[in-house]
Chains A and B, each alone.
Chain A
Amino acid sequence: MSTFSPGAFAPAPGRGRLSRMLLAQARIETALALRNGEQVLLTLLIPLALLIGLTVLKIVPLSEPRVNEVTPRILALAVMSSAFTGQAIALGFDRRYGVLKRLAATAIPRWLLGAGRVLAALTIVAIQVVILGVVAALLGWQPAVTGVLWAIALVLLGTISFGALGVLLGGALRAEIVLAVANIVWFVLLLAGGIALPPSALPGGLGAIVELLPSGALAEGLHTVLTQGGPPGWQPVLVLIIWAAAAGGIATRTTRLT
Protein backbone atom coordinates (compact mmCIF):
# COMPACT_ATOMS: atom_id res chain seq x y z
CA MET A 1 0.00 0.00 0.00
CA SER A 2 1.55 3.24 -1.12
CA THR A 3 1.79 6.09 1.36
CA PHE A 4 2.14 8.76 -1.30
CA SER A 5 -0.64 10.95 -2.58
CA PRO A 6 -1.25 10.53 -6.31
CA GLY A 7 0.67 13.03 -8.39
CA ALA A 8 3.34 13.61 -5.72
CA PHE A 9 5.99 12.62 -8.27
CA ALA A 10 4.23 13.85 -11.42
CA PRO A 11 7.06 14.63 -13.87
CA ALA A 12 8.02 18.28 -14.35
CA PRO A 13 11.62 18.05 -15.49
CA GLY A 14 13.80 20.92 -16.61
CA ARG A 15 17.10 22.58 -15.96
CA GLY A 16 17.39 25.18 -13.20
CA ARG A 17 18.84 28.66 -13.76
CA LEU A 18 22.58 28.53 -14.47
CA SER A 19 23.34 31.40 -12.09
CA ARG A 20 21.50 29.61 -9.30
CA MET A 21 23.39 26.35 -9.88
CA LEU A 22 26.72 28.17 -10.02
CA LEU A 23 26.09 30.04 -6.77
CA ALA A 24 24.69 26.97 -4.99
CA GLN A 25 27.74 24.89 -5.90
CA ALA A 26 30.30 27.61 -5.17
CA ARG A 27 28.64 28.41 -1.84
CA ILE A 28 28.72 24.78 -0.68
CA GLU A 29 32.32 24.26 -1.75
CA THR A 30 33.38 27.49 -0.01
CA ALA A 31 31.49 26.54 3.16
CA LEU A 32 33.03 23.05 3.15
CA ALA A 33 36.56 24.47 2.87
CA LEU A 34 35.91 26.91 5.74
CA ARG A 35 34.32 24.19 7.87
CA ASN A 36 37.19 21.75 7.46
CA GLY A 37 39.68 22.19 10.31
CA GLU A 38 42.70 20.93 8.38
CA GLN A 39 41.88 23.20 5.46
CA VAL A 40 41.61 26.23 7.74
CA LEU A 41 44.91 25.32 9.38
CA LEU A 42 46.55 25.16 5.99
CA THR A 43 44.95 28.15 4.33
CA LEU A 44 44.69 30.61 7.24
CA LEU A 45 46.37 29.61 10.49
CA ILE A 46 49.80 28.63 9.12
CA PRO A 47 50.05 31.72 6.85
CA LEU A 48 48.94 33.92 9.78
CA ALA A 49 51.47 32.32 12.11
CA LEU A 50 54.26 32.77 9.56
CA LEU A 51 53.21 36.35 8.84
CA ILE A 52 53.34 37.30 12.50
CA GLY A 53 56.34 35.11 13.32
CA LEU A 54 58.59 36.24 10.47
CA THR A 55 57.65 39.88 11.13
CA VAL A 56 58.13 39.87 14.88
CA LEU A 57 60.95 37.34 15.32
CA LYS A 58 64.16 38.27 13.55
CA ILE A 59 65.16 34.71 12.52
CA VAL A 60 65.57 35.40 8.82
CA PRO A 61 67.59 38.54 7.96
CA LEU A 62 65.28 40.95 6.08
CA SER A 63 65.38 44.66 5.31
CA GLU A 64 63.19 46.91 7.44
CA PRO A 65 60.30 47.30 7.77
CA ARG A 66 60.17 43.51 7.88
CA VAL A 67 56.39 43.29 7.39
CA ASN A 68 56.69 44.84 3.91
CA GLU A 69 59.09 42.03 2.92
CA VAL A 70 57.10 39.25 4.58
CA THR A 71 53.53 40.05 3.50
CA PRO A 72 53.87 39.56 -0.30
CA ARG A 73 55.48 36.14 0.28
CA ILE A 74 52.78 35.10 2.74
CA LEU A 75 50.10 36.11 0.23
CA ALA A 76 51.81 33.83 -2.31
CA LEU A 77 51.84 31.04 0.31
CA ALA A 78 48.13 31.58 0.99
CA VAL A 79 47.29 31.23 -2.70
CA MET A 80 49.38 28.07 -2.99
CA SER A 81 47.83 26.60 0.18
CA SER A 82 44.21 26.96 -0.86
CA ALA A 83 44.30 26.85 -4.67
CA PHE A 84 46.83 24.02 -4.93
CA THR A 85 47.05 21.90 -1.77
CA GLY A 86 43.52 22.53 -0.48
CA GLN A 87 41.95 22.12 -3.90
CA ALA A 88 43.88 18.94 -4.71
CA ILE A 89 42.99 17.24 -1.42
CA ALA A 90 39.33 18.29 -1.60
CA LEU A 91 39.08 17.07 -5.18
CA GLY A 92 40.78 13.76 -4.34
CA PHE A 93 38.26 13.03 -1.58
CA ASP A 94 35.30 14.42 -3.52
CA ARG A 95 36.10 11.89 -6.23
CA ARG A 96 36.43 9.13 -3.62
CA TYR A 97 32.95 9.99 -2.28
CA GLY A 98 31.47 10.12 -5.78
CA VAL A 99 30.29 13.72 -5.69
CA LEU A 100 31.60 14.59 -9.16
CA LYS A 101 29.61 11.77 -10.68
CA ARG A 102 26.59 12.71 -8.60
CA LEU A 103 26.73 16.31 -9.84
CA ALA A 104 27.60 15.31 -13.40
CA ALA A 105 24.35 13.30 -13.40
CA THR A 106 22.29 16.41 -12.71
CA ALA A 107 21.40 19.13 -15.19
CA ILE A 108 24.59 21.06 -14.28
CA PRO A 109 26.59 21.49 -17.49
CA ARG A 110 30.12 20.10 -17.26
CA TRP A 111 31.77 23.50 -17.78
CA LEU A 112 29.72 24.90 -14.92
CA LEU A 113 31.00 22.18 -12.56
CA GLY A 114 34.49 23.57 -13.21
CA ALA A 115 33.32 27.18 -12.96
CA GLY A 116 31.75 26.49 -9.56
CA ARG A 117 35.07 25.17 -8.26
CA VAL A 118 36.95 28.17 -9.64
CA LEU A 119 34.47 30.58 -8.04
CA ALA A 120 34.80 28.79 -4.69
CA ALA A 121 38.61 28.89 -4.95
CA LEU A 122 38.56 32.63 -5.73
CA THR A 123 36.21 33.26 -2.81
CA ILE A 124 38.54 31.46 -0.39
CA VAL A 125 41.53 33.40 -1.75
CA ALA A 126 39.64 36.68 -1.32
CA ILE A 127 38.89 35.79 2.32
CA GLN A 128 42.55 34.87 2.89
CA VAL A 129 43.81 38.11 1.32
CA VAL A 130 41.45 40.24 3.38
CA ILE A 131 42.33 38.56 6.70
CA LEU A 132 46.09 38.47 6.01
CA GLY A 133 45.98 42.04 4.68
CA VAL A 134 44.22 43.33 7.80
CA VAL A 135 46.65 41.55 10.15
CA ALA A 136 49.62 42.78 8.09
CA ALA A 137 48.24 46.33 8.25
CA LEU A 138 48.00 46.01 12.04
CA LEU A 139 51.67 44.98 11.99
CA GLY A 140 52.44 48.16 10.08
CA TRP A 141 52.34 46.92 6.46
CA GLN A 142 52.38 49.72 3.87
CA PRO A 143 52.05 48.32 0.35
CA ALA A 144 53.15 50.43 -2.62
CA VAL A 145 49.87 51.98 -3.75
CA THR A 146 50.68 51.80 -7.47
CA GLY A 147 51.21 48.07 -7.16
CA VAL A 148 47.92 47.09 -5.52
CA LEU A 149 45.95 46.52 -8.73
CA TRP A 150 48.88 44.58 -10.17
CA ALA A 151 48.95 42.49 -7.00
CA ILE A 152 45.27 41.66 -7.39
CA ALA A 153 45.88 40.60 -10.99
CA LEU A 154 48.83 38.44 -9.90
CA VAL A 155 46.78 36.81 -7.12
CA LEU A 156 44.05 35.99 -9.67
CA LEU A 157 46.58 34.57 -12.09
CA GLY A 158 48.34 32.66 -9.31
CA THR A 159 45.02 31.18 -8.16
CA ILE A 160 44.28 29.94 -11.68
CA SER A 161 47.80 28.59 -12.11
CA PHE A 162 47.95 26.79 -8.75
CA GLY A 163 44.29 25.77 -9.10
CA ALA A 164 45.03 24.07 -12.43
CA LEU A 165 47.93 22.23 -10.80
CA GLY A 166 45.70 21.26 -7.88
CA VAL A 167 43.04 19.88 -10.22
CA LEU A 168 45.74 18.05 -12.19
CA LEU A 169 46.95 16.31 -9.02
CA GLY A 170 43.60 15.83 -7.25
CA GLY A 171 41.79 14.68 -10.37
CA ALA A 172 44.13 11.87 -11.32
CA LEU A 173 45.37 9.96 -8.28
CA ARG A 174 43.93 8.11 -5.29
CA ALA A 175 42.83 10.33 -2.40
CA GLU A 176 45.55 9.18 0.05
CA ILE A 177 48.29 9.69 -2.51
CA VAL A 178 46.90 13.12 -3.37
CA LEU A 179 46.93 14.01 0.33
CA ALA A 180 50.56 12.99 0.71
CA VAL A 181 51.86 14.53 -2.52
CA ALA A 182 49.95 17.81 -2.08
CA ASN A 183 51.38 18.30 1.41
CA ILE A 184 54.94 17.37 0.43
CA VAL A 185 54.90 19.70 -2.57
CA TRP A 186 53.50 22.48 -0.38
CA PHE A 187 56.29 22.01 2.16
CA VAL A 188 59.07 21.81 -0.45
CA LEU A 189 57.82 24.88 -2.33
CA LEU A 190 57.42 26.80 0.94
CA LEU A 191 61.04 26.17 1.94
CA ALA A 192 62.84 25.93 -1.39
CA GLY A 193 60.34 27.23 -3.94
CA GLY A 194 60.93 30.94 -3.48
CA ILE A 195 58.31 31.61 -0.79
CA ALA A 196 59.96 31.57 2.65
CA LEU A 197 63.30 32.59 1.18
CA PRO A 198 63.70 34.81 -1.89
CA PRO A 199 65.28 33.05 -4.90
CA SER A 200 68.34 35.32 -4.56
CA ALA A 201 68.98 33.83 -1.10
CA LEU A 202 69.15 30.29 -2.48
CA PRO A 203 72.57 28.70 -3.16
CA GLY A 204 74.16 28.34 -6.60
CA GLY A 205 72.03 28.55 -9.72
CA LEU A 206 68.97 27.38 -7.79
CA GLY A 207 67.49 30.88 -7.67
CA ALA A 208 67.13 31.11 -11.45
CA ILE A 209 65.30 27.78 -11.55
CA VAL A 210 63.06 28.68 -8.63
CA GLU A 211 61.95 31.84 -10.44
CA LEU A 212 60.50 29.55 -13.11
CA LEU A 213 58.31 27.74 -10.55
CA PRO A 214 54.78 29.07 -9.98
CA SER A 215 55.64 29.62 -6.29
CA GLY A 216 58.79 31.59 -7.08
CA ALA A 217 57.10 33.57 -9.86
CA LEU A 218 54.09 34.52 -7.72
CA ALA A 219 56.17 35.41 -4.65
CA GLU A 220 58.68 37.47 -6.65
CA GLY A 221 55.94 39.16 -8.67
CA LEU A 222 53.97 40.12 -5.56
CA HIS A 223 57.15 41.24 -3.82
CA THR A 224 58.04 43.52 -6.74
CA VAL A 225 54.64 45.17 -7.14
CA LEU A 226 53.92 45.56 -3.42
CA THR A 227 57.33 46.88 -2.36
CA GLN A 228 58.33 48.93 -5.42
CA GLY A 229 54.93 49.57 -7.03
CA GLY A 230 54.15 49.44 -10.74
CA PRO A 231 54.01 46.37 -13.00
CA PRO A 232 55.77 43.09 -12.09
CA GLY A 233 57.81 42.64 -15.28
CA TRP A 234 57.06 40.03 -17.89
CA GLN A 235 58.78 36.98 -16.42
CA PRO A 236 56.54 36.11 -13.43
CA VAL A 237 53.40 36.73 -15.51
CA LEU A 238 54.62 34.53 -18.33
CA VAL A 239 55.72 31.77 -15.94
CA LEU A 240 52.29 31.69 -14.27
CA ILE A 241 50.46 31.68 -17.61
CA ILE A 242 52.58 28.80 -18.93
CA TRP A 243 52.05 26.70 -15.78
CA ALA A 244 48.29 27.40 -15.90
CA ALA A 245 48.01 26.47 -19.58
CA ALA A 246 50.15 23.35 -19.28
CA ALA A 247 48.50 22.02 -16.11
CA GLY A 248 45.02 22.91 -17.36
CA GLY A 249 45.64 21.27 -20.71
CA ILE A 250 46.86 18.03 -19.17
CA ALA A 251 44.17 18.05 -16.46
CA THR A 252 41.33 18.17 -19.01
CA ARG A 253 42.63 14.84 -20.30
CA THR A 254 43.54 13.14 -17.03
CA THR A 255 40.81 14.24 -14.59
CA ARG A 256 38.45 11.41 -13.73
CA LEU A 257 35.06 11.66 -12.07
CA THR A 258 35.69 8.82 -9.63
Chain B
Amino acid sequence: MSPTSLSQEHPLGSTVVTAPPTTPAVEVSGLLKRYGSTVAVNGLDLRMDRGSVLALLGPNGAGKTTTVELCEGFKRPDSGTVRVLGLDPVRDGAELRARIGVMPQGGGAYPGVRTEEMLRLVAACAADPLDPAWLLETLGLAAARRTPYKRLSGGQQQRLSLACALVGRPELVFLDEPTAGLDPQARHLVWDLVRALRADGVGVLLTTHLMDEAETLADQVVIVDHGRVVASGSPQELTSSGSAEQQLRFRARPGMDTKLLVDALPENLEVDEVGPGSYVVAGCIDPQVVSTVTAWCAQQGVLAEELRVARRSLEDVFLELTGRELRS
Protein backbone atom coordinates (compact mmCIF):
# COMPACT_ATOMS: atom_id res chain seq x y z
CA MET B 1 0.00 0.00 0.00
CA SER B 2 1.40 3.38 -0.95
CA PRO B 3 1.54 6.22 1.56
CA THR B 4 -0.98 8.12 -0.54
CA SER B 5 -3.67 5.49 -0.33
CA LEU B 6 -3.00 5.22 3.40
CA SER B 7 -3.71 8.88 3.93
CA GLN B 8 -6.89 8.66 1.85
CA GLU B 9 -8.18 5.80 3.95
CA HIS B 10 -7.39 7.50 7.21
CA PRO B 11 -10.74 7.52 9.05
CA LEU B 12 -10.44 11.05 10.35
CA GLY B 13 -9.42 12.28 6.94
CA SER B 14 -6.19 13.73 8.26
CA THR B 15 -2.97 13.09 6.40
CA VAL B 16 -0.56 10.58 7.84
CA VAL B 17 2.69 12.46 8.12
CA THR B 18 5.57 10.07 7.71
CA ALA B 19 8.80 11.30 9.23
CA PRO B 20 11.71 11.20 6.80
CA PRO B 21 13.31 7.74 6.93
CA THR B 22 16.56 9.33 8.00
CA THR B 23 15.26 9.89 11.52
CA PRO B 24 16.27 7.06 13.83
CA ALA B 25 13.72 4.42 14.85
CA VAL B 26 14.23 5.37 18.47
CA GLU B 27 16.06 8.34 19.89
CA VAL B 28 16.16 8.90 23.64
CA SER B 29 18.20 11.50 25.46
CA GLY B 30 18.57 12.36 29.11
CA LEU B 31 15.58 10.22 30.00
CA LEU B 32 14.56 10.36 33.64
CA LYS B 33 11.67 8.54 35.33
CA ARG B 34 10.99 8.31 39.05
CA TYR B 35 8.47 6.26 41.00
CA GLY B 36 8.20 8.07 44.29
CA SER B 37 11.73 8.14 45.67
CA THR B 38 12.97 5.35 43.37
CA VAL B 39 14.72 6.45 40.19
CA ALA B 40 13.85 3.83 37.57
CA VAL B 41 15.50 5.52 34.60
CA ASN B 42 18.33 7.89 35.36
CA GLY B 43 19.56 9.98 32.44
CA LEU B 44 19.40 7.29 29.78
CA ASP B 45 20.50 7.91 26.19
CA LEU B 46 19.70 5.60 23.31
CA ARG B 47 19.72 5.63 19.54
CA MET B 48 18.42 2.85 17.36
CA ASP B 49 18.60 2.79 13.56
CA ARG B 50 15.60 1.95 11.42
CA GLY B 51 15.25 -1.70 10.57
CA SER B 52 17.86 -2.79 13.07
CA VAL B 53 17.67 -5.01 16.15
CA LEU B 54 18.52 -3.45 19.48
CA ALA B 55 18.70 -5.52 22.67
CA LEU B 56 18.30 -3.79 26.01
CA LEU B 57 20.18 -6.06 28.37
CA GLY B 58 20.22 -5.67 32.10
CA PRO B 59 19.53 -7.31 35.44
CA ASN B 60 16.05 -7.26 36.99
CA GLY B 61 15.07 -3.76 38.04
CA ALA B 62 17.61 -2.11 35.73
CA GLY B 63 14.93 0.05 34.11
CA LYS B 64 14.43 -1.91 30.87
CA THR B 65 10.65 -2.17 31.02
CA THR B 66 10.24 1.44 32.13
CA THR B 67 12.39 2.56 29.20
CA VAL B 68 10.30 0.52 26.77
CA GLU B 69 7.04 1.82 28.23
CA LEU B 70 8.30 5.38 27.91
CA CYS B 71 9.00 4.66 24.24
CA GLU B 72 5.50 3.22 23.79
CA GLY B 73 3.84 6.24 25.38
CA PHE B 74 2.45 4.31 28.37
CA LYS B 75 4.43 6.51 30.72
CA ARG B 76 5.41 10.14 30.69
CA PRO B 77 9.08 10.96 31.30
CA ASP B 78 9.91 13.25 34.24
CA SER B 79 12.54 14.83 32.04
CA GLY B 80 14.43 14.13 28.84
CA THR B 81 13.10 13.48 25.38
CA VAL B 82 11.85 10.39 23.58
CA ARG B 83 11.29 10.22 19.83
CA VAL B 84 10.06 7.07 18.18
CA LEU B 85 9.92 7.14 14.37
CA GLY B 86 10.33 10.89 14.83
CA LEU B 87 7.17 11.13 16.97
CA ASP B 88 6.59 12.03 20.61
CA PRO B 89 5.07 8.84 22.10
CA VAL B 90 2.82 10.80 24.50
CA ARG B 91 1.72 13.72 22.33
CA ASP B 92 1.53 11.76 19.05
CA GLY B 93 0.54 8.50 20.73
CA ALA B 94 -2.40 7.66 18.48
CA GLU B 95 -0.36 8.16 15.32
CA LEU B 96 2.59 6.23 16.70
CA ARG B 97 0.60 3.25 17.95
CA ALA B 98 -0.79 2.69 14.45
CA ARG B 99 2.78 2.13 13.24
CA ILE B 100 4.36 0.05 15.99
CA GLY B 101 3.77 -3.41 17.43
CA VAL B 102 3.94 -3.94 21.16
CA MET B 103 4.45 -7.10 23.19
CA PRO B 104 4.00 -6.06 26.82
CA GLN B 105 5.79 -8.04 29.48
CA GLY B 106 3.57 -10.92 30.57
CA GLY B 107 1.21 -10.53 27.61
CA GLY B 108 -2.38 -9.37 27.91
CA ALA B 109 -5.87 -10.56 26.92
CA TYR B 110 -9.37 -10.97 28.33
CA PRO B 111 -9.23 -13.94 30.74
CA GLY B 112 -12.02 -15.79 28.94
CA VAL B 113 -11.24 -14.84 25.35
CA ARG B 114 -10.26 -17.55 22.88
CA THR B 115 -6.81 -17.36 21.32
CA GLU B 116 -8.05 -16.73 17.81
CA GLU B 117 -10.71 -14.21 18.91
CA MET B 118 -8.08 -12.13 20.67
CA LEU B 119 -5.74 -12.10 17.68
CA ARG B 120 -8.62 -11.20 15.34
CA LEU B 121 -9.60 -8.32 17.62
CA VAL B 122 -6.08 -6.90 17.52
CA ALA B 123 -5.99 -7.51 13.75
CA ALA B 124 -9.20 -5.48 13.40
CA CYS B 125 -7.29 -2.46 14.71
CA ALA B 126 -4.93 -2.49 11.73
CA ALA B 127 -5.50 -1.31 8.18
CA ASP B 128 -3.82 -4.23 6.44
CA PRO B 129 -3.18 -7.00 8.98
CA LEU B 130 -1.44 -10.32 8.48
CA ASP B 131 -3.69 -13.36 8.19
CA PRO B 132 -4.41 -14.33 11.83
CA ALA B 133 -4.84 -18.02 10.92
CA TRP B 134 -1.40 -18.09 9.28
CA LEU B 135 0.18 -16.33 12.22
CA LEU B 136 -1.35 -18.78 14.73
CA GLU B 137 -0.10 -21.68 12.62
CA THR B 138 3.36 -20.12 12.42
CA LEU B 139 3.56 -19.64 16.17
CA GLY B 140 2.35 -23.15 16.94
CA LEU B 141 -0.98 -21.97 18.33
CA ALA B 142 -3.30 -23.49 15.73
CA ALA B 143 -4.33 -26.34 18.08
CA ALA B 144 -5.08 -23.84 20.85
CA ARG B 145 -7.07 -21.39 18.78
CA ARG B 146 -10.32 -22.07 20.65
CA THR B 147 -8.70 -22.31 24.10
CA PRO B 148 -9.59 -19.51 26.55
CA TYR B 149 -6.64 -17.28 27.37
CA LYS B 150 -6.56 -18.12 31.07
CA ARG B 151 -6.19 -21.81 30.23
CA LEU B 152 -3.19 -21.30 27.92
CA SER B 153 0.25 -22.19 29.28
CA GLY B 154 2.63 -19.34 30.03
CA GLY B 155 4.54 -20.07 26.83
CA GLN B 156 1.34 -20.08 24.75
CA GLN B 157 0.29 -16.76 26.27
CA GLN B 158 3.71 -15.36 25.37
CA ARG B 159 3.37 -16.54 21.78
CA LEU B 160 -0.13 -15.08 21.46
CA SER B 161 1.23 -11.81 22.77
CA LEU B 162 3.95 -11.92 20.13
CA ALA B 163 1.34 -12.61 17.45
CA CYS B 164 -0.63 -9.58 18.63
CA ALA B 165 2.50 -7.44 18.33
CA LEU B 166 3.12 -8.55 14.74
CA VAL B 167 -0.36 -8.87 13.24
CA GLY B 168 -0.68 -5.19 12.24
CA ARG B 169 2.42 -5.30 9.97
CA PRO B 170 4.27 -2.71 12.08
CA GLU B 171 7.46 -1.01 10.98
CA LEU B 172 8.90 -1.18 14.49
CA VAL B 173 8.17 -3.65 17.28
CA PHE B 174 8.86 -3.49 21.01
CA LEU B 175 9.24 -6.91 22.57
CA ASP B 176 9.55 -6.88 26.35
CA GLU B 177 11.20 -10.17 27.35
CA PRO B 178 9.84 -12.05 24.33
CA THR B 179 11.35 -15.39 25.33
CA ALA B 180 10.68 -15.31 29.08
CA GLY B 181 9.13 -18.63 30.08
CA LEU B 182 9.53 -20.25 26.65
CA ASP B 183 10.95 -23.72 26.08
CA PRO B 184 14.07 -23.98 23.88
CA GLN B 185 12.09 -24.81 20.73
CA ALA B 186 9.82 -21.82 21.13
CA ARG B 187 12.80 -19.61 21.94
CA HIS B 188 14.48 -20.60 18.68
CA LEU B 189 11.21 -19.90 16.85
CA VAL B 190 11.15 -16.40 18.32
CA TRP B 191 14.76 -15.89 17.30
CA ASP B 192 13.93 -16.97 13.74
CA LEU B 193 11.02 -14.54 13.77
CA VAL B 194 13.20 -11.65 14.90
CA ARG B 195 15.67 -12.45 12.13
CA ALA B 196 12.83 -12.59 9.58
CA LEU B 197 11.51 -9.24 10.82
CA ARG B 198 14.93 -7.66 10.46
CA ALA B 199 15.33 -9.13 6.98
CA ASP B 200 11.99 -7.59 6.01
CA GLY B 201 13.04 -4.17 7.29
CA VAL B 202 11.13 -4.18 10.57
CA GLY B 203 13.02 -2.65 13.48
CA VAL B 204 13.03 -4.66 16.71
CA LEU B 205 13.73 -3.30 20.16
CA LEU B 206 13.74 -6.15 22.65
CA THR B 207 14.61 -6.51 26.30
CA THR B 208 16.22 -9.58 27.71
CA HIS B 209 18.48 -10.78 30.43
CA LEU B 210 19.71 -13.65 28.31
CA MET B 211 23.21 -13.00 27.02
CA ASP B 212 23.06 -15.51 24.19
CA GLU B 213 19.80 -13.97 23.00
CA ALA B 214 21.30 -10.49 22.82
CA GLU B 215 24.51 -11.81 21.28
CA THR B 216 22.83 -13.84 18.56
CA LEU B 217 20.07 -11.40 17.56
CA ALA B 218 21.14 -7.84 18.08
CA ASP B 219 22.92 -5.38 15.84
CA GLN B 220 23.34 -3.27 18.91
CA VAL B 221 23.39 -4.30 22.55
CA VAL B 222 22.73 -1.69 25.19
CA ILE B 223 23.57 -2.81 28.72
CA VAL B 224 21.59 -0.90 31.33
CA ASP B 225 21.90 -0.94 35.07
CA HIS B 226 20.39 1.33 37.71
CA GLY B 227 18.55 3.18 34.94
CA ARG B 228 21.69 4.12 33.04
CA VAL B 229 23.49 2.83 29.98
CA VAL B 230 26.69 1.21 31.21
CA ALA B 231 27.87 -0.03 27.81
CA SER B 232 26.63 -0.17 24.26
CA GLY B 233 27.83 -1.36 20.89
CA SER B 234 27.66 -4.39 18.64
CA PRO B 235 28.16 -7.73 20.42
CA GLN B 236 31.56 -7.87 18.68
CA GLU B 237 32.62 -4.48 20.00
CA LEU B 238 31.46 -5.24 23.50
CA THR B 239 33.28 -8.53 23.77
CA SER B 240 36.54 -7.49 22.14
CA SER B 241 37.21 -4.41 24.27
CA GLY B 242 38.09 -4.35 27.94
CA SER B 243 40.78 -5.81 30.13
CA ALA B 244 40.97 -9.49 29.26
CA GLU B 245 41.00 -9.74 25.49
CA GLN B 246 41.18 -13.48 25.21
CA GLN B 247 41.11 -16.43 27.48
CA LEU B 248 42.51 -19.92 27.44
CA ARG B 249 40.32 -22.17 29.55
CA PHE B 250 40.93 -25.75 30.58
CA ARG B 251 39.99 -28.26 33.24
CA ALA B 252 42.48 -30.31 35.23
CA ARG B 253 43.10 -31.60 38.76
CA PRO B 254 41.95 -29.03 41.33
CA GLY B 255 44.46 -27.13 43.43
CA MET B 256 47.50 -27.35 41.15
CA ASP B 257 50.36 -25.00 41.94
CA THR B 258 50.32 -22.56 39.03
CA LYS B 259 53.50 -20.73 40.06
CA LEU B 260 55.68 -22.70 37.63
CA LEU B 261 53.23 -21.99 34.82
CA VAL B 262 53.18 -18.27 35.59
CA ASP B 263 56.97 -18.25 35.47
CA ALA B 264 57.00 -20.06 32.14
CA LEU B 265 54.52 -17.69 30.51
CA PRO B 266 55.13 -14.14 29.19
CA GLU B 267 54.68 -11.45 31.85
CA ASN B 268 51.39 -9.91 30.69
CA LEU B 269 49.45 -13.14 31.16
CA GLU B 270 47.43 -14.02 34.27
CA VAL B 271 46.62 -17.49 35.51
CA ASP B 272 43.70 -18.13 37.80
CA GLU B 273 41.81 -21.14 39.12
CA VAL B 274 38.29 -19.68 38.81
CA GLY B 275 36.54 -22.78 40.14
CA PRO B 276 37.81 -26.11 41.49
CA GLY B 277 39.81 -27.59 38.60
CA SER B 278 38.77 -24.84 36.20
CA TYR B 279 41.72 -22.75 35.05
CA VAL B 280 41.81 -19.55 33.03
CA VAL B 281 44.83 -17.97 31.37
CA ALA B 282 43.95 -14.43 30.37
CA GLY B 283 45.79 -12.06 28.07
CA CYS B 284 47.17 -12.29 24.55
CA ILE B 285 46.83 -15.98 23.68
CA ASP B 286 49.12 -17.14 20.86
CA PRO B 287 50.15 -20.69 19.78
CA GLN B 288 53.25 -20.45 21.97
CA VAL B 289 51.08 -19.85 25.06
CA VAL B 290 48.93 -22.90 24.29
CA SER B 291 52.03 -24.99 23.85
CA THR B 292 53.51 -23.74 27.16
CA VAL B 293 50.30 -24.60 29.01
CA THR B 294 50.06 -28.13 27.60
CA ALA B 295 53.78 -28.70 28.29
CA TRP B 296 53.28 -27.62 31.91
CA CYS B 297 50.31 -29.97 32.26
CA ALA B 298 52.42 -32.84 30.86
CA GLN B 299 55.12 -31.96 33.38
CA GLN B 300 52.54 -32.20 36.17
CA GLY B 301 51.33 -35.53 34.83
CA VAL B 302 47.79 -34.32 34.24
CA LEU B 303 45.62 -34.26 31.17
CA ALA B 304 44.21 -30.82 30.32
CA GLU B 305 40.56 -31.35 29.38
CA GLU B 306 38.16 -29.07 27.50
CA LEU B 307 41.06 -26.86 26.50
CA ARG B 308 39.81 -23.96 24.43
CA VAL B 309 40.67 -20.41 23.48
CA ALA B 310 37.75 -18.00 23.67
CA ARG B 311 37.02 -14.35 23.36
CA ARG B 312 35.36 -13.20 26.50
CA SER B 313 31.64 -13.70 26.27
CA LEU B 314 28.97 -11.07 26.54
CA GLU B 315 28.18 -12.64 29.89
CA ASP B 316 31.69 -11.80 31.13
CA VAL B 317 31.22 -8.20 29.99
CA PHE B 318 27.80 -8.06 31.56
CA LEU B 319 28.89 -9.40 34.94
CA GLU B 320 31.96 -7.17 34.90
CA LEU B 321 29.74 -4.13 34.40
CA THR B 322 26.76 -4.97 36.57
CA GLY B 323 28.43 -6.94 39.34
CA ARG B 324 27.75 -10.42 40.58
CA GLU B 325 25.36 -9.80 43.45
CA LEU B 326 21.83 -11.10 43.05
CA ARG B 327 19.03 -8.68 42.27
CA SER B 328 15.55 -9.01 43.63
A interface residues with partner B (beta carbon < 8 Å): 1-4, 6-18, 20-21, 24-25, 28-29, 31-32, 35-36, 93-94, 96-109, 257
Contact = CB atoms under 8 A, between A and B. Distances in A.
B97 to A, nearest CB: 5
A7 B200 contact: yes
Interface stretch (B161-169, B236-244, B301-309): B161-169
A196 B117 CA distance: 39
B94 A109 contact: yes
A16 B200 contact: no
A1 B196 CA distance: 10
12 contacts: A4-B138, A9-B169, A12-B128, A14-B1, A15-B98, A24-B124, A100-B108, A101-B74, A102-B107, A107-B94, A107-B98, A109-B94
A258 to B, nearest CB: 9
B97 A2 contact: no
B150 to A, nearest CB: 7
B113 A98 contact: no
Given A4-B193, A9-B202, A105-B72, A15 B126 contact: yes
Contacts of B11: 15, 17-18
A12 B169 contact: yes
B199 A2 contact: yes
> In the complex, which of the residues A25, A101, A107 has the most CB atoms of chain B within 10 Å of its own CB atom?
A107
Interface of B: 1, 6, 9-11, 16, 72, 74, 94, 97-100, 102, 104, 106-113, 117-118, 120-122, 124-130, 138, 149-150, 161, 164, 166, 168-171, 192-193, 195-197, 199-202
Contacts of B109: 97-99, 102
Contact of A13 (B72, B118, B126, B192): B126
Given A24-B121, A107-B98, A108-B125, A2 B111 contact: no
A9 B166 contact: yes
Given A15-B98, A104-B74, A9 B197 contact: yes
Contacts of A107: 94, 97-98, 125-126, 168
Given A9-B169, A101-B104, A15 B125 contact: yes
Given A13-B99, A102-B108, A28 B117 contact: yes
